[in-house]
Amino acid sequence: MGFSKEHQFLAELGLGPRNPGCYIGGVWRGSGPVVSSTNPANNQHIAEVVEASIEDYEDGLQACAEAAKIWMQIPAPKRGEIVRQIGEALRAKLQHLGRLVSLEMGKILPEGLGEVQEIIDMCDYAVGLSRQLNGSIIPSERPNHMMMEVWNPLGIVGVITAFNFPCAVLGWNACIALVCGNCVVWKGAPTTPLITVAMTELVAGVLEKNNLPRAIFTSFCGGAEIGQAIAKDKRIALVSFTGSSKVGLMVQQTVNERFGKCLLELSGNNAIIVMDDADIQLAVRSVLFAAVGTAGQRCTTCRRLLVHESIYQNVLDQLIGVYKQVKIGDPLEKGTLLGPLHTPASKENFVKGIQGGKILVGGSIVESAGNFVQPTIVEISSDASVVKEELFAPVLYVMKFQTLKEAIEINNSVPQGLSSSIFTRRPEILFKWIGPQGSDCGIVNVNIPTNGAEIGGAFGGEKATGGGREAGSDSWKQYMRRSTCTINYGNELPLAQGINFG
């Protein structure tokens, strides 16, 4: 049995009709359950993947632990060169891999290609970072003493990613973890196993070409059992988890019990505030991308729209107009703006999520073989229970406000704290919004959408979003351990704080 004609490109990524889903010490294998990868646009079978068993996992971690002893001794700029080559391998397969993201996850092709480009950009960023893992020199209060901070690798970093960004989030973590001297253990989402296999194949080719231990990068396709094993494993110094707040809390508790480190990127429930002085056309375009992009399945999706009462109807009229023009269909077809939800179960969540308010546009499941729904705007109270929860669907809750204080309170009233945005031209509003009395989110934007973050800044959020930070800025420090080192190069032993001990 081979691929259908439209799936022939998968062979270029090293995929076949049936694929082992574990990369362990340079060998592909898998002795766990056999799962079927499904195209959410039509719910048809693409290919099979053999998931990891616990025995596969243990063999993989043993090999990874041995490889870590070698990898951490390689100079950081040399590690950066390996990551540079990974970026080049991704560039060579950008079109194929981006197409696979669209096929298996369901996001439209421009977004699928953009996701792969994001990993390439992360590789470029990490290459530069590999020469800038700087410590610091600290003035000592004692004569003939020097204090410095030294950064060293953690050893092994575990990365558990979600279906909505099936390879980009790996890139945020793995590119930096690798240049910091860590081996990487990756568990991709259970519903996107082909992307996990294809990404691993690209990384494996670079390691093989450079005669490096293949176990530097170890990956598993699998479900909760493998995720729990990663969380419990004392050999894994840091676990980076992307997913729901509910599961993230369990991961954090498990990792904390063994005194491990945790990096969490959890739920979002993001708001855009449109002030009375806003550029309405700019705001409407931004809301459309933020609420409809990726079929509302980004953690940074705009789920709540807060509009000043004086321009409320004007904004809604324009927004409803553009919503009616959104083309729904196959994510691989040119011109499609809204692809399918990822699973059939997501359609049920969509129906639940539009209860309790007045539907202004959309509100229906599209009759087809796939998981399509209409982009929907619901007028609703800010304190409705459904507004407090994250919903992975193209549903936008709209509400009006009178004052900036009221808008900020509504923005901050949900458990999650990932992304937020305000549209205004007034400096006094802008600076209050980004200050201590403004948004309580990790991402605080002005005159741009809640989604589409650049890799140069640290990505993450507060409260039930977990507090983690990935990608740029000083996020690299999470993937290393800090040692404060004091060196006495004299013959005396003066003590700190002027203590005289005998």
d(CA 192, CA 219): 13
d(CA 395, CA 379): 11
Alpha-helical (H) ranges within 224-311 are: 224-232, 245-257, 280-292
Q: Which of 230-234's residues contact partners 24+ apart within 8 Å by CB, and which partners?
A: 230/158, 230/160, 230/185, 230/187, 231/158, 231/255, 232/258, 233/61, 233/158, 234/258, 234/260
Q: In 60-216, where do the E strands start and end?
A: 136-138, 145-153, 156-160, 183-187
d(CA 83, CA 125): 10
Torsion of CA 353, 354, 355, 359, to 10 degrees: 170
Half-sphere exposure of 113 (CA within 13 A, CB side): 9
- As a whole number of Å, the CA-based R_g of the chain is 24
Q: What angle separates helix 94-105 from helix 193-209, to the nearest 10 degrees?
A: 160
Active site annotation includes 58: no
d(CA 268, CA 419): 7
Residue 58: strand, helix, or coil: helix
Are 93 and 195 spatial neighbours (Cβ–Cβ below 8 Å)? Answer: no
Are 239 and 255 spatial neighbours (Cβ–Cβ below 8 Å)? Answer: yes
Characterize the bridge pairing of strands 358-361 and 458-459: unpaired
Residue 112: name the closest of 326, 318, 334, 440 by CA.
Answer: 334
- The catalytic position among 51, 115, 201, 265 is 265
Residue 83: name the closest of 48, 127, 141, 118 by CA.
Answer: 127
Residue 90: name the closest of 111, 117, 114, 109 by CA.
Answer: 117
> Which pair of tokens denotes residue 498?
């002027």
Q: Cα dihedral sign for 429, 432, 437, 443?
A: positive
Catalogue the active-site residues.
Answer: 265
